[in-house]
A = this chain, B = another copy of it.
Amino acid sequence: MSGPTVHDVARTAQVSLATVDRVLNNRGGVSSKAEAKVKAAVAQTGYVRNLAAANLSRRRVYRFSFVVPSGDTGFVALLQAALERERDRLVEEQILIQIIPTHAFDVAGQVAALRNLDCDAVAIMASEAPEVQEEVSRLRASGVRVVTLVADLPQSDREAYVGLDNVAAGRTAAEFMGRFLGDSGEILMIAGSLSSRDHNERLMGFRRVMQERFQHLTLLPAVEGNDEARSVERLVSEASAIRPLVGIYAIGAGNKGLVRAVQKADAKPVTIVHELTPTSRQGLRDGTIDLVLDQDTSAAVVAAVRIMRDLTEGRDVPVDTGKIRLNIFSRENI
């Protein structure tokens, strides 16, 4: 009924159980001849290790941490929720998830959070600061597997990145912006922070496609909304006051302010924002927002866990596991 076991492998390989074990868990001390025999037997019998038995036996408990910014609105709230949701599911697979909240731009706090971490692997969403990268190196050196989440730290020792291709996201935003807008006009781009990598990459992608394909549209200099509704609202209002905008690309958080400002504006610009939150969802419904580009937080969490598990298991991680698909939402498919 159940498939072949190590015993079957041992029998067909004509070696002892101990040798099979040594090969399977490469403990060394096996002649190449015996190793070949075992491998042949594995292939012949079609043996696949029973993960349940394996985990049970070694009483493995995966301890994973998520060091992520806290907050009760916007994207980070979604991420938190996704984490909580997955947590329950994962407990019975012996995967314990610890969520360590930090503050969005508080580098010192992030470093502190990473400092006394006791786990097998960690997924971090933090600032691209040297101190953080240093801490990543330290973690890796102490045997902790590190994955970046949503915001990559490509210069660091992290072993994988889970999140969007932000350049592609920006390009996509530009494409739809361009196609929705027939005529010429001015477009406002609002980033959360001009010094954060993910926002910059989105900007870059957006700009590039605009230049390549939609030169009749004019890009205003990018502004910084600090991911806060207030300042976003003010920026949009101010820009609209000078002359009507035909398009707005909001790269970071603070969509509540954006919606307020757009609703007050004289002409309705084509508005593209990031992250499907209650606010942006409502914006889609009432027509204030035209498109929402979203990275699925659940998918991100699942992918992160999968990668962390593969890493701690010593398996090699399939490429693309960390690539989170860009979801595009319009009023018709929310």
Chain A: residues with CB nearer than 8 A to chain B?
A: 1-3, 48-53, 55-56, 59, 61, 91-94, 168-169, 171-172, 174-176, 179-180, 182, 205, 209, 296, 325-328, 330-333
Contacts and interface: CB of A to CB of B under 8 A. Distances in A.
A183 to B, nearest CB: 9
Contacts of A205: 332
A298 to B, nearest CB: 10
Contacts of A48: 91-92
Contacts of A92: 48-51
Contact of A175 (B3, B53, B171, B331): B331
11 contacts: A2-B59, A51-B92, A52-B94, A169-B333, A171-B332, A172-B333, A175-B330, A175-B332, A296-B325, A325-B327, A327-B328
A189 B100 CA distance: 51
Count of this chain's copies in the oligomeric assembly: 2
A209 B2 contact: no
A330 B1 contact: no
Central interface residue in A3, A55, A330, A333, by most chain B CB within 10 Å:
A333
Contacts of A53: 52, 56
Contact of A55 (B52, B168, B171): B52
Given A332-B168, A332-B171, A332-B175, A52 B61 contact: no
B52 A56 contact: yes
Given A48-B92, A51-B52, A92-B49, A330 B176 contact: yes
Contacts of A333: 168-169, 171-172, 326, 328
A56 B56 contact: yes
Nearest to A293: B333
A10 to B, nearest CB: 19
B171 A61 contact: no
A42 to B, nearest CB: 13
Given A3-B91, A51-B52, A51-B94, 13 more contacts: A1-B59, A2-B59, A48-B91, A51-B93, A53-B56, A169-B333, A172-B330, A175-B331, A175-B332, A176-B330, A205-B332, A325-B327, A327-B327
Contact of A172 (B179, B296, B332): B332
A49 to B, nearest CB: 6
Contacts of A174: 332
Contacts of A327: 325, 327-328
Central interface residue in A2, A174, A179, by most chain B CB within 10 Å:
A179
A175 B296 CA distance: 22
